[in-house]
Structure formats: C-alpha cells, structure tokens
Amino acid sequence: MTQDVNQVLQRAKDGGEVYLCTLTRDELKKTGFDMSTFGYFEYVDIYLLYDIDYVIKYVFDGDITDTYYENTNDVGGEEIFVDIIKSYLRIGGNE
C-alpha cells in the first residue's frame, strides 16, 4: 500500500493514531535514532499522532507502559520530522 506522507499527516490531524511501521532494534538504530537512553528491546511499533502538534509515538516490545514520544522540537524542526516519517514509511514498506 502506498501512503503519501501528506496523507498520513492529514489522517493523524483528523484525529487518528496512524501506524507507521514496526522496526527491530537494528533497523531503528540504522535510522539514526539515539538509543543511548533506552534499555534492551527487540522491536518498536511506531505511530504518528496529532494533538497540539505532531508527535511520533514509540511503543517498545508492545508494552504500552514503555512508550516514548518525540515532537518536531525534539528532532530539530518540521522538515527533519517529516523526513523521519518518510523514512519510517519507506522502511516499513508503506511508501
């Protein structure tokens, strides 16, 4: 299924939690994600949300109590944030 990043952003803004992909620890590391503050995990489910701003939600090993949120300010701005979403869609086979 091909998903345009603009469609994904709009779906999140319309009130839905949008699933982006599931990545293994090694796949996430290859994206440049800073894993230095996270313990061991096998995989992470990644979602896009919209509240006041867009947020990427990371759920480690399917455990909702082990969740991390990242917004545009955390990654250095909107352009980088969109690039991250594009990479997750590409890696997850959704683009």
Q: What is the pLDDT of residues 54-88, one digit of tens each?
A: 999 999 999 999 999 999 999 999 999 999 999 99
What is the residue extent of each domain of the chain?
Answer: 5-91
Q: One-letter amino acid identity for 48?
A: L
- pLDDT for 83: 92
Q: 0.85 cut: is pTM over it?
A: yes
pLDDT digits (tens, 9 = 90+) for 18-36: 999 999 999 999 888 988 8
- pLDDT for 94: 56
- pLDDT for 85: 93
Which uninterrupted H or E stretch holds 12? Answer: helix 5-13
- pLDDT for 54: 94
